[in-house]
């Protein structure tokens, strides 16, 4: 059947009441990569890679471009599995142990966090990453939009670390990191705050605070000063602390706490909506029923 938009071009068109609302026009849909990220399938970049690999189908057809827009009413499938509509935004604290990687799969066959997480957990993605041997707090979410917003440097979330490093160092040398440094390979790090906590033999415990969170930034910054990091623990990401969470444990952060902690930095539409208590309908008394001891 010919496309009706390509025929009878000179005929006066009657308004289509069904589609007269601009909010329902397909052009106002959401890009598929963003939709998949919001649904917790993967980050936008990973979703685009899935599309390139031919893993995404819309209404039975293999998708070939990440520019395609959807409204959520389509039959959307990834590797044959239907994608559910975006659910309420949720975030978890996870104490990542050393020896796990934060990707969904690894060509070298190393163990990933997703193989260790509780099976009861829904599909999640990480907010930022921790390298193989780094321990500590890692935030998980079912919302790719929130993950992206919290990772951006402009959001200004401070990452706190405790580093054990081998070598000799003074506080004056650590203070040189405040003005930022440039590595031999040209990598530039902005201000890093490092405080010498204590010395234990040939090792030092150092508290580090930074806002960029580039790949292996703490390790490379301290190596720049002649230290060798042999243990690294992230103790805080923005307003969320590791606290007493044991290695391998997962704990959900309530929606109320998320809104209170992130409202000043994260757009409201990316945060969980406030749940209103159910309203109870007031029933009219039956004819002849007693009200306050009196008969109606």
Model confidence, pTM: 0.69
Query: How is the chain split into domains, by residue range?
Result: 27-84, 91-270
Segments in the chain below pLDDT 50: 1-27, 277-285, 291-293, 296
pLDDT the model gives residue 275: 60
pLDDT the model gives residue 40: 74
Structure tokens belonging to residue 232: 């690294």
Quote the CA–CA distance of 294 and 282 in Å, as a whole number.
19
pLDDT the model gives residue 280: 47
C-beta neighbour count of 193 within 10 angstroms: 15
pLDDT the model gives residue 12: 42
Quote the CA–CA distance of 150 and 293 in Å, as a whole number.
59
Question: Reduced to 3 states, what is the DSSP secondary structure of residue 245?
Answer: coil
| CATH class of the domain defined by 27-84 | alpha beta
* Cβ–Cβ under 8 Å, residues 41 and 34: no
Q: Write down how long the chain is.
A: 296
Q: Which of 23, 131, 143, 185 is catalytic?
A: 131
pLDDT the model gives residue 78: 93
What is the b/e burial string over 71-80, where b = at least 16 CB atoms within 10 angstroms of the residue's CB? eeebebbbee
Element (H, E) at 209: strand 203-210
Quote the CA–CA distance of 178 and 132 in Å, as a whole number.
27
pLDDT the model gives residue 44: 83
* Cβ–Cβ under 8 Å, residues 233 and 134: yes
Let me know if 131 is a catalytic residue: yes
pLDDT the model gives residue 165: 97
pLDDT the model gives residue 20: 35
Would the CATH topology of 27-84 be identical to that of 91-270? no
CATH architecture of 91-270: 2-Layer Sandwich (3.30)
pLDDT the model gives residue 28: 54
Q: What's 24-62 look like in SS3?
A: HCHHHCEEHHHHHHHCCCCCHHHHHHHHHCCCEEECCEE
């Amino acid at each position: 059947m010919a496309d009706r938009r390509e025929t009878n071009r000179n005929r006066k068109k009657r308004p289509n009441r069904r589609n007269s609302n601009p909010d329902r026009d397909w052009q106002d849909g959401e890009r598929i990569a963003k939709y998949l990220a919001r649904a917790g399938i993967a980050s936008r970049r990973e979703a685009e890679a899935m599309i390139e690999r031919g893993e995404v189908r819309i209404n039975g057809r293999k998708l070939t471009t990440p520019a395609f827009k959807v409204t959520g009413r389509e039959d959307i499938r990834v590797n044959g599995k239907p994608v559910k509509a975006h659910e309420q935004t949720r975030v978890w604290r996870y104490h990542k142990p050393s020896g796990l990687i934060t990707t969904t799969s690894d060509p070298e066959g190393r163990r990933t966090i997703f193989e260790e997480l509780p099976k009861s957990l829904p599909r999640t993605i990480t907010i930022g990453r921790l390298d193989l041997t780094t321990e500590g707090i890692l935030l998980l979410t079912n919302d790719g939009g929130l993950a992206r917003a919290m990772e951006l440097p402009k959001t200004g979330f401070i990452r706190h670390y405790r580093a054990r490093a081998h070598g000799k160092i003074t506080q004056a040398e650590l203070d040189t990191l405040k003005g930022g440094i440039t590595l031999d390979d040209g990598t530039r790090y902005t201000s890093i705050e490092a405080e010498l906590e204590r010395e234990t033999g040939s090792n030092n415990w150092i508290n580090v605070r930074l806002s960029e969170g580039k790949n292996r930034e703490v390790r490379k910054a301290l190596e720049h000063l002649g230290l060798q990091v042999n243990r690294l623990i992230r103790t805080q990401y923005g307003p969320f602390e590791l606290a007493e969470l044991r290695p391998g444990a997962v704990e959900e952060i309530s929606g109320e706490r998320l809104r209170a902690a992130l409202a000043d930095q994260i757009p409201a539409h990316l945060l969980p909506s406030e749940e209103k208590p159910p309203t109870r309908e007031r029933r009219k008394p039956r004819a002849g029923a007693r009200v306050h001891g009196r008969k109606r």
